[in-house]
């Protein structure tokens, strides 16, 4: 049996070892979840809501311990970890409120042709949901699916990232303590366990992670419904009328919070050429006030650190200019200095590939059409943010950008419960439905209550 060694990225020290699930154990968890679905799915909505309220209470009761584990295993500042747990609790109540407004839909039938016939659509759970979650927000991203999936009557087999195994294990303990046995199950492991879960006898998959993993899922999942929330290379467009102070504050936060390890981090900045000097002066001032270890957390691993360094090395070779930062911090842990680059272009990895690190590359544009073209010159399509005092102008520009989410004068904003989150192109297969509706199947019903046979029947 393999083992997962969890490392505190702030100290590079092992904080614990947890056994990796075997393939047989994954099969057992799926079998157990299928068995539990029969009774869990038959509970009344009122009963399931009661269980979810108990989970919320248990999260509140264990909040401090869970926050500490997130800080230790992911390297987050306490405030960020606290936000995560609070968001998880809020997501439960958001979906509790949402599901109570769900009703069957009556379908109009041609009464002259089909006398005594009624049709309607109601919603049923899928069965066993496979849930694979990332390490960067291991608590709140998990509950964005856990809450609606359980409320809908599904059971779950949950695989947290191997980089957040202890966080995942505590989430499992908090939930399993109050739910009927085998409704919520966990498997621990690296990519091989995740890949096996994808191809297993689950009924639907929700996955958040890398583009490469998303491609692998598409190749191996078979005929099965799935949701993919993948990477991004988000564009940050600064129009010439933007409020400089507000915009540079957002840029610094968007690029460097969570050490840039957010799928909607600011990864590409396009500034109108007429305001570049003012923008840079204000931005540099704000970045100079950031403290590594307090404002800037570590990267999750040495592997991620090396990826960030490789993107910077590629940009350096191709002629970029480093205004600030540009190297690993001279301290223990996987810390990298907040870095600002200019003289970059789209031949560089730093402008084309997801970096997932605290680097902010800046280009200029001369017209809004050029800005839209630059933003669209990407295989990713998660989100984009536009900064202008003219909101209608911002909306018009946003219409030109091919992404799943557009923000005007806002950065990395999430709706309650992470609802309607997602991207297009290689950033995922964003659904037009809410997360709750993605956890349910629409089942159509036709009921004939008459006593006469149809004229066309034999």
Backbone angles phi, psi at 202, to 5 degrees: -75, 165
Largest CA-CA distance found in the chain, in angstroms, rounded? 85
* 141 or 453, which is more confident: 141
DSSP code per residue over 392-415: HHHHHHHHHS-SSEEEES--S---
* Three-class DSSP labels, 60-72: HHCHHHHHHHHHH
- Residue-level pLDDT at 196: 97
Closest to 45 measured CA to CA, from 378, 453, 440? 440
How confident is residue 146, by pLDDT bands cut at 50, 70 and 90? very high
Q: Summarize pLDDT for 382-426 with one digit per residue, the tens.
A: 999 999 999 999 999 999 999 999 999 999 999 999 999 999 999
Mean pLDDT of 122-138: 98
Numbers of helices and strands, H then E, in the chain: 15, 19
How far apart (Å, rounded) are the C-alpha atoms in residues 160 and 137?
A: 11
- Residues carrying CATH 3.40.309.10, the chain: 234-415
Residue 137 confidence (pLDDT): 98
Q: Residue 286 pLDDT > 80, yes or no?
A: yes
Q: What is the mean pLDDT of residues 243-267?
A: 98
Q: In the prediction, which pLDDT does 100 show?
A: 97
How many Å apart are CA 456 and CA 452, to the nearest integer?
Answer: 12
Calculate mean pLDDT across residues 429-458. 93
Mean pLDDT, rounded, for 225-248: 98
Instruction: Calculate mean pLDDT across residues 120-125.
Output: 97
Catalytic residue annotation: 229, 263
* pLDDT reported for residue 230: 97
Is 90 exceeded by the pLDDT of residue 208?
yes
Q: Tell me, what's the pLDDT at 141?
A: 98
Asked if pLDDT for residue 1 goes beyond 80, the answer is: no
Q: What is the pLDDT of residue 251?
A: 98
What CATH fold (topology level) applies to the domain 234-415?
Aldehyde Dehydrogenase; Chain A, domain 2 (3.40.309)
State how beta strands 155-159 and 266-272 pair. Answer: unpaired
CA angle 417, 88, 29 (to 5 degrees): 100
pLDDT for position 288: 96
Question: What average pLDDT does the chain have?
Answer: 97
Predicted local confidence at residue 277, as pLDDT: 98
The residues with which 238 forms a beta bridge, in sequence order, are: 271, 387
Looking at residue 458, its pLDDT comes to 78
When pLDDT is averaged across residues 257-265 and rounded to a whole number, the result is 97
pLDDT attached to residue 453: 87
Coil vs helix vs strand at 3: strand
- For 127, the token pair is 């069965």
Closest CA to 283 of 271, 293, 274: 271
What is the 8-class DSSP label of residue 297? P
Residue 175's pLDDT is 98
Describe the chain by its helix, strand, coil percentages, rounded to 5: 40, 20, 35
Category of 314 on φ-ψ map: left (φ > 0), alpha (ψ -120 to 50) or beta: alpha
**What confidence tens digit (pLDDT) does each residue in 14-43 have?**
999 999 999 999 999 999 999 999 999 999
d(CA 93, CA 38): 25
**In 353-440, which ranges are continuous DSSP H helix?**
368-376, 391-400, 435-438
Structure pTM? Answer: 0.97
178 phi and psi angles, rounded to 5 deg = -115, -15
DSSP string, 91-116: HHHHHHHHHTT---EEE---TTTSTT
Look at residue 113 in the predicted model and tell me its pLDDT: 87
Strands 3-8 and 155-159, by their bridges, are unpaired
- pLDDT tens by residue, 314-355: 999 999 999 999 999 999 999 999 999 999 999 999 999 999
Question: What whole-number distance in Å separates Cα of residue 391 and Cα of residue 309?
Answer: 37
| CATH number among 3.40.605.10, 3.30.830.10, 3.90.320.10, 3.90.1200.10, domain 3-230+428-444 | 3.40.605.10
pLDDT at 455 over 90: no
pLDDT at 56: 98
Taking only the tens place, the pLDDT of each residue in 158-202 is 999 999 999 999 999 999 999 999 999 999 999 999 999 999 999
Domain with CATH 3.40.605.10 in the chain: 3-230+428-444
Phi, psi of 454 (to 5 degrees): -65, 150
Q: Give the C-alpha separation, 62 to 12, whole Å.
A: 26
Vertex 80 angle, CA 298 and 227, to 5°: 90
Cα–chain center distance at 271: 27
Given a contact cutoff of 8 angstroms between Cβ atoms, the answer to whether 234 and 407 are in contact is no
Of 209, 199, 129, residue with least CA distance to 161: 209
Provide the pLDDT confidence category of residue 237 given band limits of 50, 70 and 90.
Answer: very high
CB 159 within 8 A of CB 194: yes
410 and 132 in contact (C-beta within 8 Å)? no
**Distance from CA of residue 405 to its chain's centroid?**
13
Question: What percent of the chain shows pLDDT beyond 70?
Answer: 100
pLDDT at 456: 81
């Amino acid at each position: 049996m393999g083992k997962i060694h969890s490392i505190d990225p702030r100290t590079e020290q092992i904080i614990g070892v947890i056994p990796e699930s075997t393939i047989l154990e994954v099969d057992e968890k799926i079998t157990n979840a299928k068995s539990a679905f029969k009774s869990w799915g038959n509970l009344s909505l009122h009963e399931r809501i009661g269980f979810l309220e108990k989970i919320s209470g248990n999260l509140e009761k264990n909040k401090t311990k869970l926050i500490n584990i997130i800080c230790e295993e992911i390297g987050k500042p306490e405030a960020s970890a606290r936000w995560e747990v609070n968001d998880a609790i809020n997501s439960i109540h958001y979906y509790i409120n949402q599901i109570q407004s769900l009703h069957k839909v009556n379908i109009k039938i041609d009464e002259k042709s089909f006398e005594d016939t009624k049709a309607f659509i109601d919603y049923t759970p899928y069965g066993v949901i496979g849930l694979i979650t990332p390490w960067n927000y291991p608590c709140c991203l998990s509950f964005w699916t856990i809450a609606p999936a359980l409320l809908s009557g599904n059971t779950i087999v949950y695989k947290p990232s191997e980089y957040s195994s202890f966080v995942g294990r505590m989430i499992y303990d908090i939930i399993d303590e109050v739910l009927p046995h085998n409704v919520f199950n966990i498997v621990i492991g690296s990519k091989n366990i995740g890949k096996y879960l994808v191809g297993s006898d689950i009924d639907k998959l929700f996955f958040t992670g890398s583009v490469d993993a998303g491609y692998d899922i598409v190749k191996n999942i078979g005929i099965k419904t799935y949701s993919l929330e993948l990477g991004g290379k988000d564009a940050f467009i600064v129009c010439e009328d933007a409020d400089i102070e507000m915009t540079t504050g957002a840029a610094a936060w968007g690029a460097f919070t969570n050490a840039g390890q957010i799928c909607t981090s600011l990864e590409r900045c396009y500034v109108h050429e007429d305001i570049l000097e003012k923008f840079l002066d204000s931005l540099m001032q704000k970045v100079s006030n950031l403290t590594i270890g307090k404002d800037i957390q570590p990267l999750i691993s040495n592997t991620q650190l090396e990826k960030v360094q490789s993107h910077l090395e590629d940009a350096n070779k191709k002629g970029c200019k480093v205004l600030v930062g540009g190297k690993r911090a001279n301290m223990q842990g996987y810390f990298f200095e907040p870095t600002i680059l200019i003289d970059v272009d789209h031949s560089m990895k730093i402008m084309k590939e997801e970096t997932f690190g605290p680097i902010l590359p800046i280009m200029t544009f001369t017209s809004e059409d050029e800005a839209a073209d630059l933003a669209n010159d990407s295989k990713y399509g998660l989100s984009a943010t536009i900064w202008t005092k003219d909101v209608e102008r911002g909306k018009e520009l946003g219409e030109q950008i091919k992404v799943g989410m557009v923000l005007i004068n806002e950065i990395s904003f999430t709706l309650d419960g992470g609802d309607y989150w997602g991207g297009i192109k290689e950033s995922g297969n964003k659904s037009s439905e809410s997360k709750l509706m993605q956890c349910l199947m629409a089942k159509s019903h036709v009921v004939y209550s008459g006593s006469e046979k149809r004229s066309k029947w034999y």
